[in-house]
Chains A and B, each alone.
Chain A
Amino acid sequence: IAGITQAPTSQILAAGRRMTLRCTQDMRHNAMYWYRQDLGLGLRLIHYSNTAGTTGKGEVPDGYSVSRANTDDFPLTLASAVPSQTSVYFCASTDRPGQSNEQFFGPGTRLTVL
């Protein structure tokens, strides 16, 4: 693989179910991010990780959790999905946060919660 991959590509989920969105990068980037993108709104940061073993809360963390056990993987878990979590989710990574390095984005996961 090259870059960032996300799985699944899309998912329809019943409210109340648990769901994990997967994100893997092979660029050995230190920092990884989860965003959600909703129509008419900018990308909003859910959680981030500046390096393996550490995570932090973004702008909209409620209802979501993350882990960063190693450099490559950064899964996002919805413990009990609600319809307001219907969105497109993007995972991103960058080598060194806080500098001019661009963030690279995965292809996204389109999630619908009914």
Chain B
Amino acid sequence: GQNIDQPTEMTATEGAIVQINCTYQTSGFNGLFWYQQHAGEAPTFLSYNVLDGLEEKGRFSSFLSRSKGYSYLLLKELQMKDSASYLCAVMDSNYQLIWGAGTKLIIKP
């Protein structure tokens, strides 16, 4: 079967760094996406990885290891507005997105 695993909840301090992990087992792989979803709102796109390595975009970076079925999202210089759920999604062999349940990130002052 297809499976995406992420921690349910994480807590971090304002100004710190946090790493959110995602492991996956899917039928085929055509890229991995990270989305941010604030409570009561729609998901919004953060990053896309299809090749191994690190993609940096401002305070956010995303890493992929296809051989390990593993990705992480790294958030630096945390701000209160980063309190949200972070969704990992893999594009499978049918070019459909398979979604993890999301990681709720709580930022404390």
How far, in angstroms, from A105 to B101 measured CA to CA in the complex?
Answer: 17
Q: Across the interface, do A44 and B99 meet the contact criterion of CB distance under 8 Å?
A: yes
Q: How far is the CB of A110 from chain B (nearest CB, A)?
A: 9
Q: How far is the CB of B66 from chain A (nearest CB, A)?
A: 15
Count of CB-CB pairs between chains A and B under 8 Å: 44
Q: Across the interface, do B43 and A43 meet the contact criterion of CB distance under 8 Å?
A: yes
Range class of the B interface residue count: 20 to 34
Assuming the contacts A90-B43, A105-B43, A107-B41, asked whether A41 and B48 have C-beta atoms less than 8 A apart, the reply is: no
Q: Across the interface, do B31 and A100 meet the contact criterion of CB distance under 8 Å?
A: yes
Q: Which A residues contact B (CB, under 8 angstroms)?
A: 35, 40-45, 48, 58, 90, 97-98, 100, 102-108
Q: How far is the CB of B44 from chain A (nearest CB, A)?
A: 7
Q: Which B residues contact A (CB, under 8 angstroms)?
A: 4, 30-31, 33, 41-45, 48, 50, 87, 89, 91, 95-102
**Lowest 5 A-B CB distances belong to which pairs?**
A42-B99, A98-B95, A102-B45, A105-B42, A43-B99
Q: How far is the CB of A68 from chain B (nearest CB, A)?
A: 16
